[in-house]
Structure formats: structure tokens, C-alpha cells
Amino acid sequence: MKIRGLWLAVPWALFVIAALGWVFYWNYVGNEAERRIRAWAFEQNAAGASASVERIVRHGFPMLMRLELQGVSYAPARGGWRVTTESADLHIQLTNPQHIILEAVTPITVSRSNGAATNVSADALVASLRTERGRLAVAGIEADNLVLDDPAEDGVLRVVKIVANVRPDPRMAGEYQVSFDAQSLTLPRPVRSFETFGLDVPAMRAAIVVSEGAQLLEQSPDDPLGPWRQAGGQMRFEALVLNWGPLETTGSGDGGLDAQRRLQGRLVLPVESPAPVINAVAQSENIDDSARRALGFLAAGYLVTGDEITLDISAHDGVLRIEGLPVRMLPPVY
């Protein structure tokens, strides 16, 4: 009887040991996550930035690990902006702590040094990060019914669905693959020189390769993209899908910034029916009379022939050109 009782007790003893081990592991993961958050904030503040989390509350025991971050605020040392939110949830996979998910619980406010602010809200807004041996494996962001509202400006940007991901490019060291998919965009106001295209963008998708990606993490006074630009950083559009007004195309191209921080590069967009697209550009109030007449003649020719066109859009020396015709001057991006 004693031996039989001993065997009955063994499973219970193993269960208690396993349960105590899991409690210890759950708390260890939580402690380590909180330590890393505090260490990150300390390192950022020591480097001249401003980072703070007022309070961290753990939830989810025993199967989940969710850290409620209350009073989150971050401002880079020289970025000229600050992001704040009352609450965000940090989800950690207990079976793979290198995979974390950050979920926005309350609206986010992005304040800029000039006093302007953008309020960001969504039905769901989630960012994820997975690392392997301390290096980026994949990062992404996904949002449903995203709204960006700048109270000082007219209009509101709305996106029904947006998904973006970035990962190292296995084909070339130092390059990163970026995918972007936005469905049913509503622009806050007309785009200059493309006013007649309207505010509704049914679809926008892109597959981009960013060269010299590590330079984007480098700090530079008053020029956050300076190290990347000076290193010859470029964005290579391997595929670009755009449905906007009369334009429905799948193209490719490349681009970057010149020494004056203006866009420079080229997009090649095959268009089956170019006449409506060129006519729409020609109707812009920001096009001068000579360019409008030239574009009108060009559209008429395609309307008569019915030919397709590979639309060439370029930006060089601060001038945006369509099929070689100057459309508008380009200001610095920032």
C-alpha cells in the first residue's frame, strides 16, 4: 500500500514542480521585459532623448504575458517631434520571448517642434518585432480603419486597411525589403499638380528594397536622413501598384534624396489608357500654360491612336517631370 501511495503521489509532485517552475519562468520573463524597457529608457535619456513609461502592470498569467504600459512618451534627441499615448499593451510570446507585439490601446499623439500635432487612432493598431540572435528578423505594423488627423490642417487621412513589413534582404547584406499594402485610402486634401485625380485611392501596394539601411539608424544633428543620403542610400521600387483616379498601373523605379533633401529618382508606369491620365494632370491649376498645352497635345495624340504608354515620371534638380515636361518645382522633403 505504501508503494502504491508513493506512485500516486509522484504525478502530483511532478505537477507541483512544473507549476512552480512555470510561475518562476512567467515572472522571469516579466522581470526581464520590464528591465529591458527601463534600460532602454535610461539609454535613450542618457543619449539626449526623452523616454518614459510611468507605470508597467502585468497581465495574462498563466498562459499569456501582457505588459500594460501607462503614460508612454518618447522624443528623439534631435528629431523635433514627440509621440505620446496614455496606454499601450506589450505582448510577449512566452515560448519565444524574442517575438514581441505592441498594441495601441488609446489614441497616439505626434507633436512637432513647430507646435503642430497629428492624432493617430484606429480600430486596431499593432506593431510587431521578431529578432534572432539580437538582430532584426522581421518587423511590421498593421492597422484597421486608421485615422490621421492634424487639427491645424484641413481634412483627415483615412485608411481602411494598411499592412507594412520590413526584413533584411537575404540577397544583399545591408539591404532591407519593405512591403506596403494600403486599401481604400482617403486623402486629407488634393495633391498639388494632381488635384483632378481626387481624394480616393482604392489601392496602393509596393515592394521596396532600401540600400544602406543601417545608416537610417545613425543620428545626425538637424538632418535625420543625412547619413543614409551621404552613404548613397536609395529606395528601389521592385513593384508599385497604384489605383488613383484615372491611373491604374503596376510600375517600378528608384529614388532617394539630393543634397538639398529633395526627391530625386524615376518611376516607370505602364498605362493602358494614357489620355485620361495626361488630361487630368493638364487640368491642374498649378500647371503653367505652356506645359498645359503640351500635355493637351500629347493626350490628344494618344486619344486618337489608342496606344498604350510607359509613363516616365522623374525628379531631378528639384523639378518634377512627366514625359520630360516640367510639371512643378519640388521643395525639400524636410
Q: What pLDDT does 82 receive? A: 93
- Could you tell me the mean pLDDT of each successive run of 10 residues in the chain, 334 residues long? 59 81 91 95 91 96 94 86 95 91 95 90 96 91 96 93 96 93 96 88 96 82 82 94 92 94 94 82 77 77 72 92 87 88
Q: What pLDDT does 287 receive? A: 74
- 17 burial type by CB count under 10 A (0-12 exposed, 13-18 middle, 19+ buried): exposed
Residue at 51: amino acid letter:
A
Cell of 46: 542618457
What is the rounded CA–CA span in Å between residue 113 and residue 96?
39
The position carrying cell 505652356 is 290
CB 184 within 8 A of CB 160: yes
Question: Cβ neighbours of residue 3 under 8 Å, at least 6 residues apart?
Answer: none
Q: What pLDDT does 1 receive? A: 46
Question: Cβ neighbours of residue 136 under 8 Å, at least 6 residues apart?
Answer: 129, 166, 167, 168
What is the rounded CA–CA span in Å between residue 208 and residue 265?
14
Q: What pLDDT does 169 receive? A: 95
Query: What pTM was estimated for this model as a whole?
Result: 0.81
Q: What pLDDT does 8 receive? A: 64
